[in-house]
Amino acid sequence: MLLKSMVKPKKDLTTVREDATLEEALDILEESGFRCVPVLDKTGRLFRGNIYKMHIYRHKSRGGSMQEPVTSLLKNATKYINVNAAFFNVFFSIKDLPFITVLDDNNYFYGILTHARLLDGLSQSWNVNVGSYVITVISGDERGDLETIAKIITKYTSIASVISLDVEEGDLVHRMMFTLPASVDEKRLHQIISNLERKGFRVPEVENLKQDRL
């Protein structure tokens, strides 16, 4: 479920009304410094689409009238998610956009989710800001590998977070990233890696989060 805390609410946003002209929209964009803002209906409740600064300038450079309605250059009118959308829907919906519009359960405009806030949320869920190391463990994608790896690590420490990244096509290789808590020192790290490798798992990458925060 998408956490509401990750969404920038409507009251904190710069928006454009659907009855604005392109000239008025451009003034708002220039004043705000944003390259793109949401366009809402006259009530401020319904999402109509996004207006991009570059599209207005392109229109103007081609001799287009700046008194045309902003709706003539709307983009992304169908690009939105529900505030309770599943994470994977959120992740793939925002892929090619500066932000994704978020609607509430009544399909009214709720706010936006930006790339920066999404990445910050991922960072928090992985506990990279309070962890010690992130180790990448590669297995042969055998049933029970995750459980076995977790048991090996928890002989020495708890696990702050874990994420499974991919399966490499053809090689049947599974890559998992484990964030270890701040209490893990270099000695214990080497013990964990040594035990994992003795059991046939590879640890090709270790990221020192403490060092990265210096």
What is the per-residue burial (b if ≥16 Cβ within 10 Å, else e) of 26-58? bebbeeeebebbbbbeeeeeebbbbbbbebbee
By the 8 A CB rule, do 79 and 93 touch? yes
Lowest mean pLDDT among 2-6, 80-84, 124-128, 195-199: 124-128
Identify the band that residue 124 occupies on the pLDDT scale cut at 50, 70 and 90.
Answer: low
- From the list 165, 197, 194, the residue with the least C-alpha distance to 178 is 165
Based on the fold, state whether residues 94 and 149 are members of the same structural domain. no
pLDDT digits (tens, 9 = 90+) for 13-72: 999 999 999 999 999 999 999 999 999 999 999 999 999 999 999 999 999 999 999 999
Based on the fold, state whether residues 105 and 164 are members of the same structural domain. no
Based on the fold, state whether residues 10 and 111 are members of the same structural domain. yes
- Two tokens, residue 9: 């609410």
What is the largest distance, in Å, between two alpha-carbon atoms of the chain? 71
pLDDT digits (tens, 9 = 90+) for 56-107: 999 999 999 999 999 999 999 999 999 888 777 787 788 788 899 999 999 9
Whether residue 214 is predicted with pLDDT greater than 50 in this model: the reply is no
CATH number where 201 lies: 3.30.70.260
pLDDT digits (tens, 9 = 90+) for 148-189: 999 999 999 999 988 887 655 555 678 899 999 999 999 999
Look up the domain containing 159 and give its range. 126-212
Q: Alpha-carbon torsion 40, 45, 48, 50, what sign?
A: positive
Based on the fold, state whether residues 11 and 74 are members of the same structural domain. yes
In this prediction, residues 112-122 reach a mean pLDDT of 83
Q: Which residue has the tokens 């709307």?
A: 74
CATH number where 16 lies: 3.10.580.10
pLDDT of residue 143: 86
State the total domains in the chain. 2
